[in-house]
Structure 1
Amino acid sequence: MKLIKTTLIAISILFVNSLNAQINSSTLDHNNVSAKISDAGTFFYDFVNQQNGYEIPKGSGLSPIYTTQFWFAAVDSQGDIHFVQGGMPNQGSDVFNGPISDPGTYNTPEYQAKWGNSIWSICQTDIDNFILTYECNLDPNCNEVYPLTNEAIMTINNWPAHGDDNSGQSYYLAKFFDNNGDGSYNPMAGDYPIIKGCCATYMIQNDAAESHSYTNTDSVGMEIHYMFYQYKTWDYLNDVTFIDISAINKSNINYPEFIHSIAVDADIGNPEDDYFGSDSLKNLSYFYNADNDDEDTQQSLGYGVNPPAIGIVSLNKDMTSSLPYEGFGLTVPQKWNLMNGLKTDGSLWLNPNGNPTKYVFSGNPNIASEWSALSINHPIKEAKALSSINIGSFNIGDTMKQSFAITYARNGNHLENVQSIIDLASDVQLFYDNESDIPCTNGTTNLEEQENFNVSISPNPSTGTVNINNYNKNLLSISVLDFQGKVILERFFSSESNIDVDLSNQNSGIYFFHLRTESLNLIRKVIIQ
């Protein structure tokens, strides 16, 4: 019952306040979604106002998600499970603010002053205005004023580009544009944050600063970087929130087994009439209303007739399981079983044909003959699901990168919206693979200016030499950055129609070509093989 859970969270807030503890949070609401992001270890819940924190449409008071957590589980060579499940006020925490540091440094005034609040939010418009301001200050004839809020200036100045390597922290943390190539972040020298989307919220946490009071397991020894980001558009992307996660093994343990999961407690308005489904071919889990009328309850607003569906898409790795789960009272071994696509007791899930499966309710509810919660008349209640990615080994120094998209559809009845979510999984995957580096101008995805730029970059992938075809012979400013945001080719100018850029002396990997004219801006991802 959601009433019980709401009461538990309310008690937790009172307990937190009584200890003068603080939950830091930020709201990402650049498009049609208003998403509350906090450092409590549980996302999309508004702990201050004790209400759901993933609102769509923004300003409606309606929400399709109650909470979301990210689970990480590693098994060491002795078979012990190290588990990270986030946290909840008054129930403990497995995650703590800031990067991995030397033992004994986490509670120092220096560490707490820098990392006590490890949430940074910034929009590309702010970054663009900062760049224009910096360049204007270098031009004695420039008198332009580009608006920058105090909050944006503080975020740019305090961007977590570096840790204290004298205290065992990684020197390079959040990505940045290194304008003069000196390897150090300095906004006064024209350096600035690199984000994805039109607006983004960045977080750095670890699981080693304190003991795990949420799962009571040993730490993995992991540093976790999150980037939540949104695009403002006139299509389905206006209803999407993207999430990038980087988990780095900073321990001295090689783990032979490592699994990452996203746990979603979906409340599509009324929490007691929802279903869950999965689609392994689309790397998709989704939630929808069991009938076509989502009524109000005493605790929450319903979406009414033709309620929406939502989807969770794994964008860069195949899901290895997706299944429903009950969230309370589970032991760590039971959770490990779920993450492996099993039932809590370790037994197999079976589809209607009696065959083992790790994808529960994998049929389309629009097709009566397929296996869905609707087709078998599954009990109608709240819907929680765990979608997992089995990474395999997680060795010392390894970095796991995972990307998700949360999608939304409401353009038909409850089942038509499920079909839309299934179709959108392909669209958002295509966007992620090919167009997610399109820059934003004035807070909006720059599709029109992208077309007007009239520049092509080929071949991509390349074995070393990349050709820029400058069809209009515009005067181009060209810079090349590596995946960490470090400038590996200083800015130069050219108005030639064909410009060859030689990267044959660089390592294989992903590079970003930053092209600018007086009025246009383009960033293109290029792979060097």
Structure 2
Amino acid sequence: MKTIFTFITVLATVFSFGQVLETLDKNNVSLAASADGHLFNAQASAGYEVPKGSGKHLIFSQSLWFGAKDPSGQVRIAAQRYAGDSTDFFPGPYSSNGSYDDPGYINEYIPALWKVSKADIDAHINEYASSGSVSNPHPTILNWPGNGYQALGVSPDQAPFVDLNSDGVYDPYVGDYPAIKGCEALYIIMNDTKSAAGGTGTASLGIEIHILMYQYASLDFLNDITFMDIRVINRGGTDLVDFVTASYTDADLGGFNDDYMGCDPMRNVVFTYNGDLYDEDNGSLGYGEGPPAVGVMYLNDTMSHAGYFTSTAVGTQSDPTTAAQYWNYMNGRWRFGDTWFFGGTGFLGSTGVTSIPTNHMFTGGYDPLNLSTGTVDPGFDWDETTNNNPAGDRRMFFTADQGKLLAGEELQIHQAIIYGRDSTKTSFENVDVMLEVADLVQAFYNSGMDVCNDPFASVSSLEEELFSVFPNPTNGKFTIDIPTITSELRVEVIDVYGQIVYSSPITENETQIDLKESSGLYFVTVIGNGSYRTTKLMLE
């Protein structure tokens, strides 16, 4: 619900001639985002700062890519990289009658950025609880886009909200409020349909994209994390097949031209780290000694492909500029359609390359099951350091094959941007620090808890665990050892998709478990006395 005001012309002018940005900086991360497809690119400058206020940035730009085939077999793409690109994404929800330039649409939905805090929501809830109504809702709650205006061709199903009287209408005066996660959240709505042919030149997919970015202010690892819940709805009426989603990140770690890329297929993480031990200033502030590693991870999906390109590379390994080139990268091929191969730079003919095709670049020692090569064992670990690749301006991406997205259907993609730095470690060792954080983030996500509601919802670091698991890795049979049991305890084993695959009370100091599940990464959580501890378990 949004109060109509008279400055429509002014708002439209501001939006038309400049990128409208909103910040999210509740924790140690300060990010800038817009609803034109550029998530962390602030007026062509880096837009993801960690630590907040340091002037040092992990990410220069990030965006989402979507691709599919229509019933005639034609490829449709919505993708872009930087604020200077011609755009495939536009602020605001999909309009079935093309009302994008209607003053009512502009007033109601542009710039399509809504920020709200848990503190304001709590105050709203408390006022309703005490008086049975809310006389003057906070503007961020009042303006929340809970419903769409059908006269503007907008679906009534928009941003999620708590509907106290279950009437389907968002009305904060009778107590309704935004349904968010975290201590503060930024909600973005985009479409790919305002222009019939976007920057990549294909027909639009007819999709509406909702992004809930949220952060937790905490005293632990969560203070450095940004979560993103992405909802993609096929509003256009065309069935889409071979639907692929991708997340593109130009992760300039301080100085931009000395980075490496890698991935962990087991954890569904793609990451960037510094290519040497010291991150110099180079057009932006560097991180100096022991620079961090930054990653993007799927929390509820499987990484189908993870790849990269470099701004200074030869044409076939450089940035995509056409729909066909985006489609090639999104399907695990080089820019012009060449196959990815394990070793070297991933390109056939490069030094150190094999003849084994791969779906994931630079897996290092993080792919013990050889997921990247279809279980074929190449006989060696492959990363940029062992291959002595020259560091550079790496741009990384990872994809998830979604199959079909039929007319009216939607899908949910949950991601997190993770950070790892130990000042006593090197840039290469900080990759492992970052991946340890990835395990904690995954466990926190799997728990379904909200740290702003539950004071015990913080997962401990691995060094603080009160129990041990052995052997690890295991063939399925393992023991949980708890030296002292002082309360009722329960153990849960959770897979990477958040499904509880085993649950049982703990009554002995040593508990034997025989887990009959497929190989992969799992999380063992011991719960009791209002808190819990988690560690990872590798099942071979």
Normalization by structure 2: what TM-score? 0.74
* Whole-angstrom distance in 1 between the partners of 2:156 and 2:112: 16
Aligned to 2:450: 438
Aligned residues: 427
Map residues 60-459 of structure 1 onto 2, 5 A cutoff.
60-86=54-80, 88-89=82-83, 91-138=85-132, 153-297=138-282, 299-326=283-310, 328=319, 330-352=321-343, 353-364=354-365, 370-411=381-422, 412-435=425-448, 437-440=449-452, 446-447=455-456
Partner SS state of residue 138, structure 2: helix
Question: Measured at CA, do residues 254 and 71 of structure 1 come closer, stay the same or move farther in structure 2, by a change above 3 Å?
Answer: same
Within 2, Cα distance between the matches of 1:155 and 1:105? Answer: 24
Shift in Å, 1:88: 4.8
Matched letter for residue 122 of structure 2: D
| Counterpart residue identity of residue 118, structure 1 | A
Distance 1:17 1:170 in 2: 26
Task: For 1:363 and 1:303, locate their aligned partners in 2 and report how far apart those are by CA, in whole Å.
Answer: 24
Give the whole-Å Cα distance in 1 for the aligned partners of 2:488 and 2:35.
42
2:12 maps to 1:21: no
- Cα distance in 2 for partners of 1:261, 1:402 equals 10
> 1:121 touches 1:201 (CA, 8 Å); kept in 2?
yes
Task: Write out per-residue CA displacement over residues 418-454 of structure 1, whole angstroms, 9 at most, x where no aligned residue.
Answer: 011222222211111114x32515xxx632799xxx9
Contact 1:40/1:86 (CA < 8 Å) preserved in 2?
A: no
Which residue of structure 2 aligns with residue 493 of structure 1?
Answer: none
Cα deviations by residue, 1:235-258 (Å, 9 ceiling, x for unpaired):
111101011111111122112211
Q: Which residue of 2 aligns with 1:517?
A: none
CA distance 1:271–1:17, change in 2 (3 Å): farther
Change in 2 beyond 3 A, CA 1:37/1:325: same
Q: 1:135 to 1:17 in 2, by over 3 A?
A: closer
Deviation at 1:28, TM superposition (A): 0.5
Q: CA shift at 1:166, angstroms? A: 3.6
Distance in 2, Cα, partners of 1:257 & 1:34 = 36
Q: Which runs of 4+ in 1 moved over 6 A?
A: 16-19, 365-368, 454-457
Report the CA distance between 1:280 and its aligned residue.
0.7
Whichever residue aligns with residue 327 of structure 2, its letter is W
Gaps of 5+ in 1: 1-15, 140-145, 462-519, 521-529
Closer, same or farther: CA 317–162 of 1 in aligned 2, 3 Å:
same
Deviation at 1:102, TM superposition (A): 2.4
Residue 53 of structure 2: aligned partner: 59
Distance 2:447 2:366 in 1: 30
Shift of 1:366: 13
SS of corresponding position for 1:354: strand
Correspondence for 1:35: 31
- Give the secondary structure class of the aligned counterpart of 1:355: strand
Query: Which whole-Å CA distance do the structure 2 matches of 1:19 and 1:132 have between them?
Result: 36
CA distance in 2 between counterparts of 1:87 and 1:98 reads 19
CA RMSD, Structure 1 to Structure 2 (Å) = 3.1
Mapped to 1, the partners of 2:171 and 2:489 lie a distance apart of 32
Structure 2 residue identity aligned to 1:165: Q
**1:279 Cα deviation (Å)?**
1.1
Deviation string 1:87-127 (CA, Å, 9 cap, x unpaired) is 75553211112211222322111111101221100111110
* Distance 1:104-1:338 versus aligned 2 partners, 3 A rule: closer
Pair 1:280–1:115, CA change in 2 (3 A)? same
Q: Tell me, in whole angstroms, the C-alpha distance in 1 between the residues paired with 2:232 and 2:257.
A: 34
**Alignment correspondent of 1:46:** 42
Question: Given residue 390 of structure 2, which amino acid in structure 1 is its aligned partner?
Answer: P
Q: Which runs of 5+ in 2 are unaligned?
A: 1-11, 311-317, 344-353, 369-378, 460-486, 495-529, 531-540
Q: How far apart in 2 are the matches of 1:288 and 1:177? A: 41
**What percent identity do the matched residue pairs reach?**
35
Q: For 1:273 and 1:306, how far apart are their aligned partners in 2?
A: 14
Partner of residue 472, structure 2: none
| Residue 138 (structure 1) shift | 4.2
